[in-house]
Amino acid sequence: MMKKTLAVLLSAALCVSLFAGCSGGSANTSDPESTTPATGTQTAEETKLSGTVVTNGSTSMESVMGALIEAFKEVQPDVQIQYTGSGSGAGITSAQDGTADIGLASRDLKDDETGVKQITVAKDGIAIIV
C-alpha cells in the first residue's frame, strides 16, 4: 500500500513539475499583504518521503524522466527513483504485474491492457530527417 501511495505521489509531483516547466510566466497582480496562507495543510517541503519507486518502459521517455527525477530529487532527496528504458509494452506489463510502480508508454493502452490507469503527461513527436 505504501508503494502505491508513493507511486501516486511521485506521478502527481512529476506531472506538476512537467506542467510548471511548460507554463508561461505571468505577472503577479495580487496584493502580497492581502494573501493569507492556508492553515492545517502540509506543503511538499514539509512532507518527507523515503523509499524506492521503480519505473520501466518507453525509451522515448528517457529525457523526460531524467528531468522529472532530477526535479523531484530536489524536493524529496530520500526517495530513490529507478528508470529502465525497455519499451512501451514492457512498461505496461511491468505496471500490470507489479514489478514496476509506474509503467511508461509512448502509446495509448490497448483494450486488453487492463488493471492499470493511463495518465498522459506528454505527447511524443517523431520526425524523419533527410
Please give the pLDDT value at position 124. 77
- Which of the four pLDDT bands, split at 50, 70 and 90, describes residue 18? very low
- What's the pTM? 0.63
Q: Is the pLDDT of residue 23 over 90?
A: no
Q: Is the pLDDT of residue 15 over 50?
A: yes
Mean pLDDT of all residues in 53-63: 94
Q: Is the pLDDT of residue 29 over 90?
A: no
Q: What is the DSSP letter of 33?
A: G
Residue whose cell numbers read 506538476: 16
Domains of the chain (ranges, CATH numbers)? 50-122 (3.40.190.10)
